[in-house]
Structure 1
Amino acid sequence: MRITGLAAYSSDLHYDGTAYAFAGGRSYQHFTSTVVVLTTDEGLTGFGEVCPCGPSYMPAFAGGLPACLEELAPHVIGEDPRHTSRLHRKMDRALNGHAYAKAAIDIACWDLLGKAAGLPVHVLLGGLLTETMPLHRIVPLSDPAAMAASLDAYRKAGFRHFQVKLGHDVDEDIAMMRCLADGWQHGEVWVGDINGAWRRDQVARFSRSLQDLDLILEQPCASYEECLSFRQRAHHPIKLDECLTSVADVQRALKDDAMDAMALKVSKFGGLTPSRLIRDLCVAAGIPMTIEDAWGSGIATAAYAHLAASTPTPYLLNTTDLHRYNTTQLAHGAPEVTCGTMRLSNRPGLGAEPDFSLLSVPLVTAGSLN
């Protein structure tokens, strides 16, 4: 099998809420998603999707994706998509960095691998180990009353894992968490996500003031070094996210004992090929993970859900249903969500395909698309 063509499309995903807001004054109403389509000489078509969470969240810019894909396309066409590691190494030689662009192609290759084998991708990633995946629900940064109302609504919808965005004044966030914690129920998992917005002294004061709360603190400071320094005196488990951007970063964090958990965002690391390696390193080290992505619709959700489903249950902290955060769905066949959990189908490949009526005209075309 050989890749004969590559095309890329885009569409805006509008947030199903007032605003998706988090620390640092960042707030968005919509995100631009890019869908990559790979065609092959055997008539199979593979789909990938990448959707950065705005231009200021991580090193990923939706406006730059078409240029990156134009650069990568000549190096991808003619390759066998089933040889995912070989193809990923070739992309790395062709373009330094820009993991998010490579992720869109890599995900489409895994979709093709599954379709060629007649198997769902999770089987190829290790097998179905977590059939029913727990979901966390994000509580965007807002005034305390609005956040309390959102949390209550999500709890009533069946969610038991919550990621509460922090980023007010530290004293305000301490008071808000005290207020929210009045409704805490047995078995719930709470993560306070600071998105790297605080200094070490600020997060130390926050953690010390709330040390009686069963709470995980996510990405408390901007840099890895600051987070590592704080971890040595933290009163809560530490989860790392934005400061880890490569396999080498994760290896360093494991060696330094820098984290109790991590957020594994598939597009940030370049797709399922490197993310599978990171997943297995964390499992071997006993580190639980939230397996997810920055944003996306049904194809992006399906990609990380297959990785999550093939993760041993003790090491899957949770995942998320990003496709249900949007007012529109760009794909058919996204994973099914019920009462705060998610399940995959047994369809070959990712099991999700784009709704081309909702996508732009092709932004990139290369090779033969027939």
Structure 2
Amino acid sequence: MAMISSIHAGDPEEMRQRVADHRARGYRGHSIKIGTPDSEGGPALDAERITACLADRQPVEFFLVDANGGMTPESAMRMVAMLPRGLDFVIEAPCATWRETMSLRQRCPYPIILDELAQNDSDLAWAISNDVADGLGLKISKAGGLTPGRRQRDVARAAGLTVSVQDTVGSAIAFAGIAHLGATVPEKLLRCVLNCDDMVTLKTANFDVIRRDGGILPPETPGLGLEVDEGVLGKPVAVWGD
């Protein structure tokens, strides 16, 4: 499974360098943050960021341009008009509402991926029935845990949506859930998994993934394959049983 980076919005060339840094560390997926208001550079700056980040794209890489619902159909189409031809990426969560997303869907030449709008199973089912998007950013905590996340995986799989398995944030413990759920998605539908353990400095557990062919696999140990550092977690907030 390919891991996906998280490249926060900034100077286009500095973002390009951060993509290169993650590429050197084995990342084959890159999530590029956009959605800048006009007062701070707007669609023109976002177009520059996308162009810079994809300038050195490798054949095995996947680029996801994430607006976190920060664009309108108007600003998104202005940005698209300023992009060079032939760039290979998908847009995640371009708009904050279903109406805006569906409006953009009818005119946007790039695939659209759902995230914030798909809060539960019924949201995902509605999006599929109305052909709102081509893929799903499946965040385990947003789905309600591994069991509801598995259900959303199955719904997306039945509809032929691509899936990136992520979470809003987390540590080694969250990464373990992501890796295991990601490993159950068919290869042709799985795009990337998020290594949220790489985004924090506090280590909550030891989780030794298998690294192979430029990607990762979950370890072959029982359960989630974790050795949790209970000392780091502190005192329990609740105890059940004896």
Equivalent of residue 186 in structure 1, options 56, 59, 81: 59
Q: Percent identity?
A: 32
Equivalent of residue 224 in structure 1, options 84, 98, 118: 98
* Structure 1 pair 366–203 and aligned structure 2 pair: CA distance change class (3 A): same
Residue 39 of structure 2 corresponds to none
- Secondary structure (helix, strand or coil) at the match of 2:188 reads helix
Equivalent of residue 174 in structure 1, options 47, 50, 59: 47
- In the TM superposition, what whole-angstrom CA distance separates every residue of 1:30-63 from its partner, at most 9, and x where no partner exists? xxxxxxxxxxxxxxxxxxxxxxxxxxxxxxxxxx
TM-score by length of 2: 0.91
Equivalent of residue 77 in structure 2, options 184, 204, 213: 204
List aligned pairs for 1:223-302, cutoff 5 A.
223-302=97-176
Letter of the structure 1 residue corresponding to residue 49 of structure 2: M
Residue 236 of structure 1 and its aligned partner are, at CA, apart by 0.4
Give unpaired runs (5+ residues) of structure 2.
Answer: 37-41
Residue 330 of structure 1 and its aligned partner are, at CA, apart by 0.3
- In the TM superposition, what whole-angstrom CA distance separates every residue of 1:150-184 from its partner, at most 9, and x where no partner exists? 01111222222111111332111112222333222
Residue 13 of structure 2 corresponds to 145
Equivalent of residue 319 in structure 1, options 190, 193, 214: 193
Residue 183 of structure 2 corresponds to 309
* Structure 1 pair 205–212 and aligned structure 2 pair: CA distance change class (3 A): farther
Which structure has the larger Rg? 1
Q: Measure the CA separation in 1 of the matches of 2:35 and 2:196.
A: 22
Give unpaired runs (5+ residues) of structure 1.
Answer: 1-132
Contact 1:135/1:161 (8 A) holds in 2: yes
The root-mean-square deviation of aligned C-alpha atoms, in Å, is 1.7
Letter of the structure 2 residue corresponding to residue 158 of structure 1: G
List aligned pairs for 1:34-73, cutoff 5 A.
none
Equivalent of residue 354 in structure 1, options 215, 228, 232: 228
Contact 1:292/1:320 (8 A) holds in 2: yes
Q: Measure the CA separation in 2 of the matches of 1:158 and 1:200.
A: 34
Task: Choose between structure 1 and 2 for higher RCO, CA contacts under 8 A separated by at least 6 residues.
Answer: 1
Residue 366 of structure 1 and its aligned partner are, at CA, apart by 3.6
Letter of the structure 2 residue corresponding to residue 333 of structure 1: F
Q: Measure the CA separation in 1 of the matches of 2:14 and 2:176.
A: 30
Residue 31 of structure 2 corresponds to 163
- Secondary structure (helix, strand or coil) at the match of 1:342 reads strand
Letter of the structure 2 residue corresponding to residue 346 of structure 1: E
Letter of the structure 1 residue corresponding to residue 218 of structure 2: L
- In the TM superposition, what whole-angstrom CA distance separates every residue of 1:177-210 from its partner, at most 9, and x where no partner exists? 2233322222321111111011110011112332
